[in-house]
Amino acid sequence: MDNNPAMIPKPTLKLLRSLQQKKFRDQHGLFVVEGEKMVLELIDAGERMETKILIATAEWLKEHGNSFGTGIRVIESSMHDISKGSHLVTPQPVLALVKIPDEKDPSPVQGSGMALGFEAIRDPGNLGTVIRTADWFGIGEIVCSKDSVDQYNPKVVQATMGSLFRVRVRYVDLKQQLESWSGLGKPVYGTFLEGENIYEIPIEQSPLVLFGNESKGLSSELTPYVRRKITVPSFGSSKAESLNLASSVAVICAEIRRRGSMPLIQSGN
């Protein structure tokens, strides 16, 4: 506990606020996790996620005891002070500063398991939702091109609802990654508005499914690595231009998992 129980020390507040920006997250190797649900998931996540500082109100700390493990600096603070450092519209009584995991092991992906790839995904809500969707459908691997939004952006973290602690997201040279995957024989599907109806074609298990930027789609640079172009069909005379990216990811993941679980119905695949 700090000496003054109702205040966040000024340097800590300054640090906390700075972590809204990627530059400072990179510099300090830290990101922010806010809210009770998220912090409890964080504590559950175990070793991969190392909490450095936990800031909470006296009430919150009283209710949740001191079961935060050793090595965590706990700062008791008023809601007023938490609000000053919070990235949320409606601040909550607890937040944590967490070490960005040092993924030393970008092990050459085995080609086993289903994976998702994103080129220039830009909307933080989309990336966060996609990480949550991957978690729901048991997909442990996401790769993003380097110009994608950062997974530790506060809006991304919030939208994952804790799934960020379970799904590995790597920022890679997508072209190089695709070359290596193609070499390993991993089937690569790419989503295009003019792609084939996913319900009318066979889809191999354990594919990589590639999604393009929210407004531009997949670039011609990556197209040569796509084995098959797919799409989620619209219905009737819909005038909608496209589905939201995260919604499209959910539909495609659900369909691939449905087929995997129901080989008798889709015996042709």
129 binds a second copy (CB under 8 A): yes
Which ranges constitute the DSSP H helices of the chain? 10-18, 22-28, 36-44, 58-64, 79-85, 124-136, 154-160, 174-183, 245-261
Both structure tokens of 82: 């938490």
38 binds a second copy (CB under 8 A): no
| Residue range at the interface with a second copy (CB under 8 A); choices 58-66, 76-84, 104-112, 235-243 | 235-243
Nearest-approach distance from CB 4 to a second copy, in angstroms: 34
If the CB atoms of residues 84 and 257 are measured against a second copy, the closer one turns out to be 257
Size, binding site for a second copy by CB under 8 A = 42
CA–CA separation, 82 vs 6, rounded Å? 10
CA–CA separation, 45 vs 150, rounded Å? 20
Beta bridge partners of 34: 95
| Residue range at the interface with a second copy (CB under 8 A); choices 145-153, 183-191, 222-230, 232-240 | 232-240
71 binds a second copy (CB under 8 A): no
Indicate the length of the chain as a whole number.
Answer: 269
Nearest-approach distance from CB 169 to a second copy, in angstroms: 15
If the CB atoms of residues 137 and 192 are measured against a second copy, the closer one turns out to be 137
Which residue from 43, 159, 178, 203 is in contact with a second copy, where contact means CB under 8 A? Answer: 159
Displacement of CA 91 from its chain's centroid (Å): 22
Which residue from 87, 166, 175, 229 is in contact with a second copy, where contact means CB under 8 A? Answer: 166
231 binds a second copy (CB under 8 A): no
4 binds a second copy (CB under 8 A): no
Which residue from 83, 173, 199, 216 is in contact with a second copy, where contact means CB under 8 A? Answer: 199
Question: Which amino acid is it at 129?
Answer: T
Please give the order of strands across the beta sheet that includes 141-145. 168-172, 141-145, 115-118, 208-211, 188-197, 228-231
If the CB atoms of residues 1 and 240 are measured against a second copy, the closer one turns out to be 240
Q: Whose CA is closest to 172, among 151, 156, 192, 187?
A: 151
Nearest-approach distance from CB 135 to a second copy, in angstroms: 4
If the CB atoms of residues 9 and 260 are measured against a second copy, the closer one turns out to be 260
CA–CA separation, 153 vs 137, rounded Å? 23
If the CB atoms of residues 18 and 266 are measured against a second copy, the closer one turns out to be 266
